[in-house]
Amino acid sequence: MPKFEFEVESKQQISDGYHTFAELYHHRMMLFSVICNQNLDKAWKSTLHADGTMYDDYFIVGITTDEGDYTYHYHMDNWKYFFNVKELASAPEWDGHRPEDITRLLSLF
């Protein structure tokens, strides 16, 4: 099997021919921002995890659904998109959700 090697300036510039990873992550963040800002009674953000830790220059934003939480981490430059979302001293304890639990968002209807 041939080994394919290529150079890219940044992994975020990898593209499927239509969008780069950077564009797709930005789109996902904007869509999650809309979901959170339309569900202010369920959405929250924090600069700390429940255990008091956090990645440098990042925050966590989440939404509590009937099926459990769903969260993302974002760079502090993106705090403005979640301005109206209530800030907690620390995020709720992680409930073990994983990427495949994205369907929890459907319970917001």
Quick: pLDDT tens for 69-87. Answer: 999 999 999 999 999 999 9
Is position 84 within any domain? yes
Number of domains in the chain: 1
Q: Confirm whether 96 is domain-assigned.
A: yes
Structural domain includes residue 21: no
Q: Which domain holds residue 88?
A: 41-109
Neighbours of 90 (CB within 10 A): 15
Q: What is the pTM assigned to this prediction?
A: 0.85
Q: Is residue 20 part of a domain?
A: no
Compute the distance between CA of residue 63 and CA of residue 2 in angstroms, rounded to an integer. Answer: 44
Q: How far is CA 72 from CA 36, 82, 99, in A?
A: 11, 12, 10
pLDDT band (50, 70, 90) for residue 19: confident
> Does residue 55 lie in a domain region?
yes
pLDDT at 3 over 70: no
Q: Is residue 97 part of a domain?
A: yes
Q: pLDDT tens for residues 40-60?
A: 999 999 999 999 999 999 999
